[in-house]
Amino acid sequence: MSYVLFGDKGSGAFCVEASLAEAGAPVEFHEISLEKDEQRSEEFRALNPSGKIPALRLPSGEVVTETSALLYFIAERHPEAKLLPPPGSAERGQALRWIAFMASEIYPMIEIADYPERFATDHKAAAALKLSAKQRIRGRMLLVEAAVQGAPWFLPSGFSAVDIYAVMFSRWRECRENGWREAHIPKICAMAAALSERPVLKTVWEKYFPLG
């Protein structure tokens, strides 16, 4: 039996599918359209009460959610993929540190930047909130950029799940607009180029980021 991934092409499902591809694990993709707000449907909330994607159904039937948790889980379930450095190592600590940083400091701002009307009903207030969230995202991405130690990968030891996570944020609108990422996060751009060339990730990359 395969994993079943519920997500959309503009969501954190990229991290999950990319990690599973690295592990060589079969996965069936079920689209949950963000544009149609399907993640808030009663049917999907039965899988994930928070109404957020991605969600991963395991071959045994259980459902696991939260992108950063799924990165850890897949790395532990498929150690042969070497998505994280060895347990107890200093590099493992750094990998967990920066995944946690992005999960807590960047991901929540994405929702605010994309859907400011959920947090402010007044049009002007929503516009101001959107701008503030985008600036926060960019500021935090600059911290991630400064922490890159093993170009073209984040860690000195090479490729890891941290690369998948950081690159995903760099592809989204808040970093993509007006050439900001090319001008300000060149190390992460190099990371993206290297990630897109990994043989097992080519199909996944083209699915989620057809424009690069």
Q: What percent of the chain has pLDDT over 90?
A: 97
DSSP for residue 117 = G
Q: Distance (Å, rounded) from C-alpha 11 to C-alpha 15?
A: 9
Q: What Å distances lie between residue 29 and 4, 16, 32, CA to CA?
A: 6, 11, 9
pLDDT band at 151 (very low <50, low <70, confident <90, very high): confident
Residue 156 has pLDDT above 80, yes or no: yes
Show the CA angle centred on residue 157, arms to residues 156 and 162, nearest 5°. Answer: 80
Q: Domain ranges in the chain?
A: 3-81, 90-198
Q: Where is 30: in which H helix or E strand?
A: strand 27-31
Tell me the mean pLDDT in the region 45-61. 96
- φ/ψ (deg, to 5) at 70: -70, -35
The CATH architecture one would assign to domain 90-198 is Up-down Bundle (1.20)
Would you state the pLDDT for residue 121? 86
107-146 per-residue burial string, b: 16 or more CB within 10 A, e: under 16: bebbebbbebeeeeeeeeebeebbeebbebbbebbeebbe
* Predicted confidence (pLDDT) per residue in 68-123, tens digit: 999 999 999 999 999 999 999 999 999 999 999 999 999 999 999 999 999 998 99
* Predicted confidence (pLDDT) per residue in 115-134, tens digit: 999 999 899 999 999 999 99
Residue 150 has pLDDT above 90, yes or no: no
Residue 212 has pLDDT above 80, yes or no: no
Listed residue (113, 111, 83, 115) closest to 99, CA to CA: 83
Would you state the pLDDT for residue 1? 74
Strands 27-31 and 55-57: unpaired
Determine the 3-state secondary structure of 148 from DSSP.
coil
Tell me the mean pLDDT in the region 148-174. 96
pTM given for the model? 0.95
Tokens 């959920």 belong to residue: 118
pLDDT band at 211 (very low <50, low <70, confident <90, very high): confident
CATH of domain 3-81: 3.40.30.10
What's the number of CA atoms in the CB half-sphere (13 Å) around residue 203? Answer: 8
Q: Distance (Å, rounded) from C-alpha 173 to C-alpha 10?
A: 10
Tokens 């400064």 belong to residue: 146
Would you state the pLDDT for residue 157? 96
Strands 63-65 and 3-7: unpaired
Would you state the pLDDT for residue 133? 97
pLDDT band at 8 (very low <50, low <70, confident <90, very high): very high
* Predicted confidence (pLDDT) per residue in 10-36, tens digit: 999 999 999 999 999 999 999 999 999
- φ/ψ (deg, to 5) at 24: 70, 25
